[in-house]
Amino acid sequence: MSRRRTWAALSGALAVGIGVIGGELAAAALSPSVTPVSAVGSAVIDVVPPGVKDWAIAWFGTADKAVLLGGIAVLIAVLALAAGVLEYRRSFAGRAVVAGFGALGALAVASRPQSSLVSYAAPVLAVAVAVLVLDALVRALRAWARASEGGTTATPARRRFLQGVSGAAVVAAATGAAATGVRSSQSTVARRRSAVRLPAPAPTGFPAPEGSVIPAGAELDVEGITDLVTPSDDFYRIDTALVVPVVDPARWSLKVSGLVDREVEIGFDELLALPLVERHITLACVSNPVGGDLTGTARWLGWPVRELLARAGVRPGADMVLSRSVDGFTAGTPLEALTDGRDSLLAVGMNGEPLPVEHGFPVRLVVPGLYGFVSATKWVSELKVTRFADDRAYWSTRGWSERGPVKTSSRVDVPRPGARVAAGDVVVGGVAWAQHTGVEAVEVRVDGGPWQRAQLATPVSVDTWCQYRATLRLEAGTRTVQSRAVDRAGGVQSEASVAPAPDGSEGLHTVTFTVT
Ligand SMILES: Nc1nc2c(c(=O)[nH]1)N[C@H]1C(S)=C(S)[C@@H](COP(=O)(O)O)O[C@H]1N2
Ligand SMILES: [Mo]
């Protein structure tokens, strides 16, 4: 009996395996941003309390999403084995379990904002296939059991069951291989992206607008200092979405609605045909700890958001624009930051190429001076002109602040923590930022001594971070160095430590190293 039970469990695993993988495969073709498994994962992320989320991030770091998906896989496997055993014990019992969990999957799909009717095809297909395969295998297994109990020769029944199981295994392996192929290429969107030809920025007058070109002296020759322009591959990434949203530029559009004179909509080709500008803008994440690396600078190509808002005509009384992503993420940006003349962009290009898929392809927002969570919506699909009193954005309903001006800050890149450097002249270097205010000066100090002015590189613009360097004469021993930025509004980077939540970290980056 126990050997039969093992065969029953294996039948369950094969049936559910083919169903689930087949469902993911179907979703990849029909509705790539919502697959049943990713929908379940995203739904879990949405419903777990913030405390659990923080715990998961603390334990698993950026592997948290992989751990979640792994957990889901284990759960499905356990369920599949159990469904096989149950079905063998009692007709329909296992199929009922499979259908029940399929229904949960469909419910998860329903909870995804980017779902459409075709998104349900995958979970329905998955359940149908799993139920049919389970039924067929368990029937064959029972026939084998009956034949051996009946005392006659059980060989033909046994052979039929084993053929069924091997067939199912082959199908499972083939679907698995196909699914991996689809996943690894993320084919459609990658192809569409490489087919995009970005236009050059519209011609500008002379002198070139601030931030459009890198002036001489903007890059300091210091070994180990942060690059002035962050390579796209190294650019930090923050997504609430479990899988990167897949958006076909041909079907992309951005709608402006809410407190406007007329609703307007713009498509991707239309956007590319407009006079685009190119600016070096430093993005920062509100979660960046002091000395952290959740900040980066890119050359963004895009159309000023204020132009699009002007087409729609903003009505009096509005003070916020709620931008929405295809994945449901929202950001609430003070209207002023989009209309006051700064280079807030509907960006299509990053460092000379179409936006990388992870950074919002085909279109995202980039707003100088504000943390990403209130402004930098990737895969943006809708702008709703509204009021802070009437609407709240994704993170503002989760304990983070409503407005997010970037705090003036700096970090020390060299020497590295724990480095050993020779006594004498020691070069200290790093970057400082005060987006949309501009960095006025950077000061450094050693072992809590007096602040000394560092040499500041030529700024690219007020929206771009600035490298700095200082040469300090240091004697042997353990040393700590700190930096602080001063902005053009007279603001000084604060010394007291403040945690990132709810509106950005504060404090001085302190690096300890050894002078020998
Ligand atoms: N759709 C979407 N847009 C988003 C986010 C997100 O999770 N989903 N994160 C925001 C946050 S918190 C930051 S800091 C920036 C990060 O942009 P990056 O991932 O390109 O660095 O994107 C913003 N835009
Ligand atoms: Mo962020």
For residue 238, how far is its CA from the centre of ligand 2 (angstroms)? Answer: 6
Give the Cα separation of 473 and 425 in Å (integer): 5
The residue from 379, 398, 417 where one domain ends is 398
Answer for the pair 281, 297: CB distance below 8 angstroms, yes or no: yes
Structurally, the chain folds into a number of domains equal to: 3
User: For ligand 1, is residue 13 a contact (CB within 6 Å)?
Assistant: no
What confidence tens digit (pLDDT) does each residue in 440-456 have? Answer: 999 999 999 999 999 99
User: For ligand 1, is residue 230 a contact (CB within 6 Å)?
Assistant: no
Residues 372, 244, single domain; the answer is yes
**Atom 16 of ligand 1, nearest CA residue:** 238
- Ligand closest to CA 333: 1
Residues 310, 452, single domain; the answer is no
Asked whether residue 322 carries a pLDDT value surpassing 50, the answer given is: yes
Residues 373, 428, single domain; the answer is no
Residues 307, 283, single domain; the answer is yes
Q: Choose which residue among 234, 239, 355 to substitute to test ligand 1 binding: the one with the highest number of ligand atoms within 8 A of its C-beta.
A: 239
**Atom 4 of ligand 1, nearest CA residue:** 377
For residue 436, how far is its CA from the centre of ligand 1 (angstroms)? Answer: 19
Residues 157, 275, single domain; the answer is no
User: For ligand 1, is residue 376 a contact (CB within 6 Å)?
Assistant: yes
Specify the ligand 1 atom closest to the Cα of 380: 1
Asked whether residue 165 carries a pLDDT value surpassing 90, the answer given is: yes
User: For ligand 1, is residue 300 a contact (CB within 6 Å)?
Assistant: no
- Ligand closest to CA 505: 2
pLDDT band at 181 (very low <50, low <70, confident <90, very high): low
Q: Is residue 468 part of a domain?
A: yes
pLDDT band at 169 (very low <50, low <70, confident <90, very high): very high
Give the Cα separation of 79 and 375 in Å (integer): 42
Answer for the pair 314, 339: CB distance below 8 angstroms, yes or no: yes
Whether omega for the bond prior to residue 231 falls within 30 degrees of 0, making it cis, is no
pLDDT (average), residues 379-402: 93
| Residue 186, pLDDT score | 61
Residues 348, 421, single domain; the answer is no
User: For ligand 1, is residue 375 a contact (CB within 6 Å)?
Assistant: no
Q: Is residue 223 part of a domain?
A: no
Residues 140, 238, single domain; the answer is no
Residues 389, 441, single domain; the answer is no
For residue 360, how far is its CA from the centre of ligand 1 (angstroms)? Answer: 8
Give the Cα separation of 298 and 285 in Å (integer): 14
Give the Cα separation of 373 and 365 in Å (integer): 11
The residue from 398, 432, 449 where one domain ends is 398
Q: Is residue 160 part of a domain?
A: yes
| CATH number reported for the structural domain that contains residue 502 in this entry | 2.60.40.650
User: For ligand 1, is residue 383 a contact (CB within 6 Å)?
Assistant: no
pLDDT band at 254 (very low <50, low <70, confident <90, very high): very high
For residue 235, how far is its CA from the centre of ligand 1 (angstroms)? Answer: 11
Residue listed under structure tokens 């029909």: 30
Q: Is residue 218 part of a domain?
A: no
Specify the ligand 1 atom closest to the Cα of 379: 1
Q: Is residue 216 part of a domain?
A: no
Specify the ligand 1 atom closest to the Cα of 237: 19
Residues 351, 424, single domain; the answer is no
Q: What is the pTM of this model?
A: 0.80
| CATH number reported for the structural domain that contains residue 237 in this entry | 3.90.420.10
- Ligand closest to CA 286: 2
- Ligand closest to CA 238: 1
User: For ligand 1, is residue 210 a contact (CB within 6 Å)?
Assistant: no
Give the Cα separation of 28 and 182 in Å (integer): 7
User: For ligand 1, is residue 378 a contact (CB within 6 Å)?
Assistant: yes
Q: Which of 160-174, 179-193, 455-469 is predicted most confidently? A: 455-469
pLDDT band at 136 (very low <50, low <70, confident <90, very high): very high
What confidence tens digit (pLDDT) does each residue in 274-309 have? Answer: 999 999 999 999 999 999 999 999 999 999 999 999
Which one, of 173, 175, 145, lies nearest residue 161 by Cα? 145
**What range defines the domain where residue 43 resides?**
2-185
Q: Is residue 267 part of a domain?
A: yes
Q: Is residue 404 part of a domain?
A: no
For residue 295, how far is its CA from the centre of ligand 2 (angstroms)? Answer: 9
Here the tokens at position 384 are: 């709703």
Residues 477, 438, single domain; the answer is yes
Q: Is residue 208 part of a domain?
A: no
User: Which segment of 43-47, 48-52, 200-204, 348-352 scores lowest on mean pLDDT?
Assistant: 48-52
pLDDT band at 241 (very low <50, low <70, confident <90, very high): confident
What's the Cα-to-Cα distance from 378 to each of 325, 346, 347, rounded to whole Å? 6, 10, 9
Residues 356, 264, single domain; the answer is yes
User: For ligand 1, is residue 373 a contact (CB within 6 Å)?
Assistant: yes
What confidence tens digit (pLDDT) does each residue in 58-109 have? Answer: 777 667 778 888 888 899 999 999 999 999 999 999 999 999 989 999 999 9
Here the tokens at position 30 are: 């029909």
User: For ligand 1, is residue 87 a contact (CB within 6 Å)?
Assistant: no
User: For ligand 1, is residue 394 a contact (CB within 6 Å)?
Assistant: no
What's the Cα-to-Cα distance from 158 to each of 34, 142, 147, 249, 384, rounded to whole Å? 41, 10, 9, 54, 64
Asked whether residue 380 carries a pLDDT value surpassing 70, the answer given is: yes
Residues 444, 347, single domain; the answer is no
**Enclosing H/E stretch for 33:** none
Percent of the chain with pLDDT over 90: 75
pLDDT band at 117 (very low <50, low <70, confident <90, very high): confident
For residue 299, how far is its CA from the centre of ligand 1 (angstroms)? Answer: 17
Asked whether residue 185 carries a pLDDT value surpassing 60, the answer given is: no
The residue from 146, 169, 185 where one domain ends is 185
